[in-house]
Amino acid sequence: MTSIPGRAAVVAIALAGLAFGLSWRADAASCEHHRQSFLKLALREQATADDARSLADHCADTEQLAAVAAGYARTDRALAEQLAEVAVDRAPETFAPWAALALSRPAGSAGALVAWRRAKALNPRWTLPAPR
C-alpha cells in the first residue's frame, strides 16, 4: 500500500506535468497565431519591424522563426535578417537559424558567408552553394 505522502507526490507531479503541457500548448498556439498574422502582412508587403519583433516575442520556437525568415528573405531582407538573428541568438548550435541568416543577408557579404559556414559546419550535408 502506498503512503499518503507518496500519493501526494504523485498527484503533485501529475499536476505539474499538466500545467506544463497546457502552458506549452498555449505558447504554441500563440506562436502559430502571430506567425500567421505576420505572414498575412508579409504577403501584402505590409510587415514592419514591430510585426517581426512581435512574432519573435510570441514565438519561442526557433525553427518557426528560421522558417519564416528564410521564406521572407527575398521579399524583405532586413525583416528576415531580424528574425534570423533572434533565432540564432536563441539557438546558436542549431542549423536552421544559421541557414536562415545566410539566406537573409545580401549574397556575397561577409555576414552571409560567416552564417553559411556556420550552417554548413552544423549540417555538412547542406547543399546550398556558398554565397558569392
Per-residue b or e along 64-96, where b marks 16 or more CB atoms closer than 10 Å to that residue's CB: bbbbbbbebbeebbebbbbbbbbbbebbeebbb
pLDDT at 41: 77
pLDDT at 127: 84
Share of the chain above pLDDT 70, in %: 78
- How many CB atoms are closer than 10 A to CB 32? 14
pLDDT tens-digit series, residues 26-63:
466 778 877 788 777 777 778 888 888 888 888 888 99
* pTM for the full predicted model: 0.72
pLDDT at 8: 58
Residues in the chain: 132
Q: Is the dihedral of CA 45, 49, 51, 55 positive or negative?
A: positive
Contact 91/78 with Cβ under 8 angstroms? no
Phi-psi region of 76 (alpha: psi -120 to 50; beta: other; left: phi over 0): beta
Return the domain boundaries, the chain: 4-122
pLDDT at 85: 96
Residues of the chain with pLDDT under 70: 1-2, 5-28, 132
In CATH, what number does 4-122 get? 1.25.40
